[in-house]
Every structure is written in C-alpha cells, then in structure tokens.
Amino acid sequence: MSLRSLNSKPKTLHSIFHSLLSPPKPNTHYNPFSSLTYQNPPPPPSPHLVNEISRILSDHRNPHHDLEHSLNPLCTQISTNLVEQVLKRCKNLGLSAHRFFLWAKTIPGFQHSFESYHILIEILGSSKQYAVLWDFLIEVRESKCIEIVPEVFWLIFRVYSRANLPRDAIRAFNRMVEFGIKPSVLDLDQLMYTLCKRKHVKYAHEFFDKVKSGFELNAKIYSILMRGWGDVGDSDEARKLFDEMTERGCLVDVPAYNSYLEALCKGGKVDEAYKVFREMGSNGTDPDACTYSIFIRAYCEANDIHSVFRVLDRMKRYNLLPNVYSYNCIIKKLCKNDKVEEAYQLLDEMIERGVMPDAWSYNAIQAHHCDHCEVNRALMLLSRMKKDNCKPDRHTYNMVLKLLIRIGRFDRATEVWESMGEMGFYPSVSTYSVMIHGLCKKKHKLEEACKYFEIMIDEGIPPYSSTVEMLRNRLRGLGLLEHTEILASKMEQSTSCSIQEMANLMREVSILTMKVIDKPKAEYLGLARRICMQQLPESEESSPDELSDIDIGIMIGEILKRLWVSI
C-alpha cells in the first residue's frame, strides 16, 4: 500500500475549492555433487502480490461480489506460502478469505498447507461463520486431507468465548470425539482458560465440576479457575478452589499461589493476600517476579504509589525484574497523578534494566501530554519512540494528530502524517477519520478534509458511514453541492465494492431537506433566492433562477439545520 503525498490533489476538486472557499513460483535446483534432486525452501512471496490479492479480497467482501473473476488472472502465481501470507493479512475478511481458500484449492496441482487450514478455521470462527466452520471441519474429516488435531479445537474454544458463546465452546469440547480425538486434561485446561479469559468463569466452573472425575487433575487447572474468579472479583470462590486443590493433594506451585493471590487482591482483600504471601516462604515456595507484580498492580489500583515503589525496591534486592505490563501500570498511574517526570524516570529505568518499553509504555505518557495540550513534549516523545526502536501504533498517532488539529497546528499534523510510512505504519480507517473529522470542524480546512478522504478512497479503504455523512453535510452546509457529486463519482470508480456501495450515501438527501422540498414552493422561494445569491460567487455562471427545486431545498434545509430551526 502506498502512502500518497498530499501534494498530489485532483485538479477538478482543487479548482472548485479555489473558487468557492478562498479565504474569509519455487525453483527446483540440481546439485551436481549429489545423486538426488532437492528442492530449496520456497522463497517468500512477493509483498506486492500479497498486497494486490489482499486488496482484491478487501474490495470484494460481500457475497454478491465476483471475487473469483478478479482472482483468475493471478492463478499461475499462487503458491502455498503466498496463500498463507494472504490469509494472515486478511483475518478480518472472513467470507472473502474462505472464498479465496476454496478458489486456490481448484488450481490444478495446488495443495494447501496444514498452516493454511488452521488460519482459515480461526478466520471463520472470528468472523462468526460458525455453520461454515463446522461444515468445513466435516469436509476435512471426510476427505482426510489433513489430520484434525486438538489445537484446532483450541481455536474453536477461543472464537466461541470471544463471541460470548460459552455453551457453544463447551459443546465444541464434547464434539471432539466425533473427530477422533479423546479430550485430555490439556484440552480441558484450554477450554477453562479461554472461558475464564472472557469472564465466563461460572460456565467453566460448572462444567469442570461435571467432568473433573474423569481426568487426572493438577494445580494448573485450579490456577486457571482461581484467576477466572479473581477477574470477576469473587475471591470467596477462589478460596474454595484453593482449599479443594490442597485437599486433593495437588502440588501447590508458584503459579497456583500467584493465581490465588491475584484473586484475593482483585477482590479487595490485599491484607489477606499478604498473609498468604508470607505463608509461601514457610511452605518452601519462593515468590517470583510475577508474585510481586500482583501487589504492584493492586497498590496501583488503590493509588498507593508509596507501597508500589516499596515493592519495586524489594524486587531489586532479590534481583527480580518486573515485566513490561507491571511497569506500564505504574507509568499510567504516575501520569494520572500528574507525576510525568517520575514516569519518564521509570521509562529510563526499564531500558537500563533490559525491559524494553512497548507502545503502551509511551502511550500512557503521550495521553497525558495530549490531554494537557503539551505539543512540543508530545512531538518529542514521538521522536523518542523512533530513537528507542519502538514502533508507534494506531493509538499513538491518533492521539497526536487529534491534538495537533485541535490546537490548529496543521503543518505539524501534515509532518506527522507524512512520517508514518517511515516508521512502517500505514493509516487505517480510524486514523483517516481522525484527520477528516478534525479538519471538518476547522474553519477553511474543508478542502484538506476532502483531500484525506480522496486519498482514503484511492487506497481502497472504506470510510465509516459517519465520516461520509459529516463530509457531505459540511459541503452542503456551504452550498458545495457539485463537490459532493464529484466525491460520489470518485467513490463509484473505486476498485472497492464497499466504497462503491457508499457513493449513494454521499449523495443522500437528508430528511430535513425533503421536508423543506415538500413545503409549498412559494413559502421559501424568496428565501431560497437570497440564500443562493449569498452562496454563489460572482464568477459562477449559473443564476438562482437556473437552480432546481432540489438544489434550493438542500440549501435551505442545511442552513435551517445549522440554525436549529425545526420545520
């Protein structure tokens, strides 16, 4: 995907704005020293080809789009590695990815990899194509093209849990035998983990009680359930599980203690957690860095910064290192308490101790700078991320761009935008929307907003409907009806079918406008002519008399809307 320069602007749109808005395949090699012909690992697929196919899938995401017709010219370039890369890139395009997989399967001599099947199963689940997913699994079982392994069902547990369908995840566990898999305690662990991670611990615990007699249990599954109850703030249930675990004679290891401590802390029982912490030593179990990190997060939650640093100092004495997540909790809390300098010191300490900050480490500080309109410090922090080899993410750029547009530093916003490609970041729909929505709200910046909208269309990124509506309403509010038509025409010419289908939204006449048109023409004709005279520049060739009723209605409707006049 190329990042187009903003200097390249369509001449037709620029001229209108200038007049209307002036200020106010793998190779097989033969080794001559060997009697065998061998095949080197296939080279990685061309990034350009991966991008091109991904773009086609994005442009043809609806069932009625003729995806296969667009893919056919590329059939001679399809390889196993290429299919894997495209599927990984298009995980959010469930229907298109499935159709691409089936299309590739029809190419003579082509065979999907084991990895491709796994990726597609995850894609179908994530896109909630559950019926298609099970049909696909049954087809795989009948054709015996690959072996269905337990990890496939782990993916299914995860997608059902993410979709808040815990009963379906449990049913999937029970269906494993249909596919020749006898569930093991490891599979039960995975089911419990995925359910608890999405806070479906009640369903997990109930199912665990039903089936636990059929498995040889260990501390791991109890740890998962205790942590699950902790995540929903029920430390009493966690305590019952801890007691049951010890009664069964399970070896209580450090992870089990940590899960119990975390559940107690999240349930607001930090003092009780500290007593259990002290018991660990007497039982011959030494706390690890994760143990201390639990108390760090608990003290951060209680806004007890003094205790946080006391725990940090104790970890240093025992040569234990907090992970990046624990550091991020402290940095976020320091920034919330306006102690930004201490947050920077902690950032430096992380690097010195070999814990590399991630984007969230910097974003916690960046959020403070942006909330307090500290432009220079925000830009300096962005530069520091580059220096520290930390790639800014969508949240980083969105925060900084919002700030720069809000305070009117449009020049710096452009600089940040143009530097994103150098950092390997390519804007998605949310980042484009930040620019377009922000510029739409600024005086004399509607042309800039339209430029970003056009780049977005050229890149084949479908905009939010709210973005289309905002731009349309702002243009109509200024009487720039011809401009909405130009943008709508550009959308119709896009290679993306989704963008094409949104063109009518750009042309759509608001309900308020239609009410105006339904009124007797005589009531508004005089007002309409006066409005038209004010909206049209002297150089405009058409006169108010040549405007249609729809043009007059739109102008009145949008102006009345801005004046909060109800018709």
- The crossing angle, in degrees rounded to 10, of helices 289-301 and 254-266 is 0
Domain ranges of the chain: 427-505, 509-567
Name beta bridge partners: 253. none
313's enclosing H/E stretch is helix 305-317
pLDDT in tens, 21-64: 444 444 433 333 333 334 455 667 778 888 888 888 888 877 77
Reported as a pLDDT band with limits 50, 70 and 90, residue 293 is very high
Question: Which is higher by pLDDT, 21 or 291?
Answer: 291
Which of the two residues, 546 and 426, has the higher pLDDT score? 426
- Shortest CA distance to 87 belongs to which of 136, 130, 53? 53
Compute the 3-state secondary structure of the chain and give helix, strand, coil in percent, each to the nearest 5: 70, 0, 30
Question: Taking residues 104-108, what's their average pLDDT?
Answer: 87
Q: By mean pLDDT, which of 197-211, 274-288, 358-372 is the weakest?
A: 274-288
Mean pLDDT of 3-19: 42
pTM, 2 dp: 0.70
Q: Are 402 and 369 in contact (CB under 8 A)?
A: no
**What is the model's pLDDT at position 287?**
93
Question: What pLDDT score does 104 carry?
Answer: 87
Across the chain, mean pLDDT equals 84
CA atoms within 13 A on the CB side of 204: 30
**Residue 496 — very low, low, confident or very high, per pLDDT cuts 50/70/90?**
confident
Q: With 0-12 CB in 10 A as exposed, 13-18 as middle and 19+ as buried, what is 505?
A: middle
Q: Do 185 and 150 touch, CB atoms closer than 8 A?
A: no
Q: Distance between CA atoms of 352 and 357, rounded to whole angstroms?
A: 11
96-113: b or e for each residue (b if 16 or more CB lie within 10 Å)? bbbbbbebbeeeeeeebe
Give the pLDDT confidence score for residue 23 in this predicted structure: 44
Contact in structure between 63 and 42 (CB atoms under 8 Å): no
Q: What is the pLDDT of residue 306?
A: 95
Q: Is the pLDDT at 237 greater than 90, yes or no?
A: yes
Contact assessment for residue 477 and residue 512, using Cβ atoms and an 8 Å cutoff: no
Over 70: is that where the pLDDT of 533 sits?
A: no
pLDDT of 467 over the 50 cut: yes
Rounded Cα–Cα distance for residues 249 and 338 (Å)? 49
Q: Indicate whether 489 pLDDT > 90.
A: yes
